[in-house]
Chain A
Amino acid sequence: MDNKENTTNDPIIVCEDIHKWYDDFHVLKGITTSFQTGERAVICGPSGSGKSTFIRTINRLEEHQQGKIIVEGIELTNDLRNINLIRQEVGMVFQQFNLFPHLTNLQNITLGPIRVRKIAKKQAETEALALLDRMDIEDQANKYPTEISGGQQQRVAIARALAMEPKIMLFDEPTSALDPEMISEVLDVMRELAQSGMTMLVVTHEMGFAREVADRILFFDEGLIVEDAPPAEFFDNPKHERTKLFISQTLQH
């Protein structure tokens, strides 16, 4: 790679005026922002505001129709080679886990390293077991995803994404499908990941987590970034009425 990587001031993700439509429905109405290496950004906003759509454009699970997205110096276009390169650098964790039910937890994790990174099976398994250990579920390696709890499944999913050694991790409401008592075990893992210096974009309604971990909070409304501020400023001194309303609503429960 080039020497861009070392200069921390160069953003790792650049978004310039992204627009996206679902048929006639304008979901993203011009998103312009950038993220630095190691930055931890939390994205929040009301339902349907385009948060999921936005982070899914970053690894091109959704195509944007206008504007420019540059990840690690590579622009996302229809070029399949670029898309697959970027997807190897960008890990993603889904609300519904999306583990592969026909593979064991260990195989879920080693699939990417073996088939995409092309490393040997033995080594992939060693790495996967280390990751499961880090997620505190090494004893679940040979079970199937349907045989473990939701919190454990989501940690397997995080391990699966990390096994590709990504530079960026995207989280789309990783705790929304979990029972309350399992939320903290997933958040703990994410906190640890944040401390390790991973670049993270997290869509979440967990405001406690946002306040504690985020460098920046982006507030989405109707396809636009309405507020973009560090947590302290975001919670204590929000600029927009919409944000104030949202904060007062979410802090109520």
Chain B
Amino acid sequence: MNAGTRAGGYDFVVVGGGVVGSSIAFGLAERGRRVAVLDEGDRAQRAARTNFGLVWVQSKGDGMPAYMRWTRRSADLWPAFAQRLESLTGVGIEYRKAGGLVYCLGPVEFDARREKVEQLRAQADIYGTEMIERAALERLVPGARFGPDVVGASHCPNDGHCNPLLLLKALHAALAIHGAHYLPDAPARNIVHREGRFVVDTPRGSIEAGRLVLAAGHGTPALADAIDLPAPMKAERGQILVTERCRPILPIPGSGIRQTQDGTFLIGSSKEKTGFDDSTTVAVGGRMAARAIRILPELGGIRLTRTWGGIRVLTPDNHPVYAESARCPGAFVAICHSGITLAAVHAADLAEAISGGALGPTLEAFHARRFHVPKAA
């Protein structure tokens, strides 16, 4: 096979070098597994490069307590994960466990948010989000001058944020340090399960491994059937606005506004059913900007420098799918939104389970067979 790949073959081939595939591959490589990661080229559509960078717990897991616990577990693992990545690679990923805010404009929004928070709290004992009134919010973020409509917020101390581009860079650097092979411009075209091994055909030749992880974002469904993996998916567009850099005033990220370490404000993210069209529109950007200005009126006086659109990687219920193939044991699939939030637990518990050869009872709840259960009338 081609130069650049391992003569003795691989223990694992991971298909997809976005944040999900790279986090799992990093965890496998840390456990001494010989790993190849196949990825597309620079022009590929990647949620890993278009997301908002939140490590976000407070809105996750409605209707699925297992997912709430899984997300929280990841948030708990994040500080050590970030430190491990940074000291291994020297790439700072700007992670801060700063807590997180969902701003409420007017009493109606505040009451609705309170209801939602109570609903989530009732589903799992680990849920740690509180509603705070405006005065408490002002004490929490003394540098920010909130608009008159801001009556309060929900606040979760377990939330945080990072620079997702640097996270991906650090993961790729960590893979190289652990001897894993990241192969860009090598999209999987076809996967064959033969005599207990997986052979993946790419334009750069074929790659063989004992086991396989399919984590190709929206490239997953095209490959899943051949190895009997489920891939129920939907697309959703999110647009993000980027401002010029300003003096830091907002250390706590919010669901719709965060200030990066460099001083840039990111404003986002819309939720649009526009298929795989990742373009931006003035109408949606304008609505997001108008809301951001109601929260922080001073944002009205600064310039936008760019905008982008990205396509979320979603399952029908927005919760992750992890599954092993019944017909081709050793083939796993991982499909999820919130790949930044879940990066730490993917590199730890998920990689541990996959490395050990079975997803086990904790991950049972995430199988796609949950979509086939007929709903009671």
Question: Do A and B form a real pair?
Answer: no
| A residues at B contact (CB < 8 Å) | none
